[in-house]
Structure 1
């Protein structure tokens, strides 16, 4: 009978460890914009990162809606083998000025559809690259509502907007944070961002910034995973330590 409390303690500890892992998992399953920030007024290239979170189906389509309250005059997709990108434009209620010219319409939606035999299978993810600009200067963020479609007919709607002081919604929309530009190039466009990699003078493109951002993202993800593993190991170790002390007391 004396061993019963120890068993209960061990069971509770293991349950707690499982809960920690379960809570840590969903944070990696969101559709996100990477990198997550860019300077106002400039051009940038971002990836819409789409993880497959369904264990029994594959992702075959992604729809990204671009905000028309802060329209983007230039939107271009990077060709991806196995995927067909379709761009839809909408007429603006009020034209915007871009480099002194009136722009009356803007891209309102991008749809990537998988070709036959192509998919994002369970346990995989895909990145869809887009160049955007000029980024608005009258807002601190752009919200891209997205729909992720699976080959079994399921559709996940990543459209919920986070609110200050409130928990993160279950299906948050991808958000690109806009920061104040440090300097301009004299044409209202920040010199710190570029819609495409710059050439180094030898025919090679400069992807150093993209690689640095990817390395930072990977490091952050690795740190989070290691933190979770450390908590789990600590909880399990404590449980078995208590169990050992209980057994020692019973034996004496």
Structure 2
């Protein structure tokens, strides 16, 4: 009886495993150095969820109210890109701490060179990297992303909120006030090293003088 029950449970678990939908991988954005007022390398990680079609185009829209003045794109093999800038809307100038830029980044679009056999294939992901800045004085930047597949299907990652079906990628930005702390820490470590070096030098000098005194005393005793 116990063996039969175990077999039924195992079979039921297998059926559930087969019938359950696979985990959905979202488009995300990452940076290890995003600080307010500075430039940072930013990577958009794009998985291909389709089992049959490849990702052939990626459009990233920058926030309209948190200004990013400059973007430099890292080349992505097999892909071209188009960067779009627009005249700065003066109503959004207050969110930027480096004055009022005349042009701001509106969007960037990557397109595969070979839409037939190129692109990000099923079961794979691609990282699209750029350097952007100066980053605005906000805690987060929300990007709206449109992902196009080789079969014409489109995934719009534009919903606000992590629990939505197609959440827009959100980049966390550290406060610039954290920078002096690191600088002070580094300065303190450097100062400690200097004191240790001075102490070691002083000790070496004392030992050298002591050795010289002992040698002179020995010579005088022999005389």
TM-score past 0.5 threshold: yes
Q: How many residues align?
A: 177
RMSD (Å) for aligned C-alpha atoms: 2.9
Residue 149 (str. 1) matches residue 148 (str. 2): yes
Q: Which runs of 5+ in 1 are unaligned?
A: 185-189, 192-252
Q: Residue 27 of structure 2 is aligned with which of 21, 28, 31?
A: 31
Tell me which residue corresponds to 1:112. Answer: 110
Q: Residue 72 of structure 1 contacts residue 107 of structure 1 at CA under 8 Å; is this kept in 2? A: yes
Q: Secondary structure at the match of 1:103?
A: coil
Alignment of 1:23-172 (within 5 A): 25-26=23-24, 29-35=25-31, 38-94=34-90, 96=93, 102-116=100-114, 117-137=117-137, 139-162=138-161, 168-172=163-167
CA distance in 2, matches of 1:50, 1:3: 46
Q: Residue 173 of structure 1 is aligned with which of 139, 154, 168?
A: 168
TM-score (norm: length of structure 2):
0.69
Q: Which runs of 5+ in 2 are unaligned?
A: 184-223
Residues 10, 118 of structure 1: alpha-carbon distance in 2 compared, 3 angstrom cutoff:
closer
Shift of 1:65: 0.2
Shift of 1:11: 2.9
Shift of 1:3: 5.9
Q: Residue 37 of structure 1 contacts residue 176 of structure 1 at CA under 8 Å; is this kept in 2? A: no
Shift of 1:183: 2.2
Shift of 1:37: 6.8
Shift of 1:39: 1.8
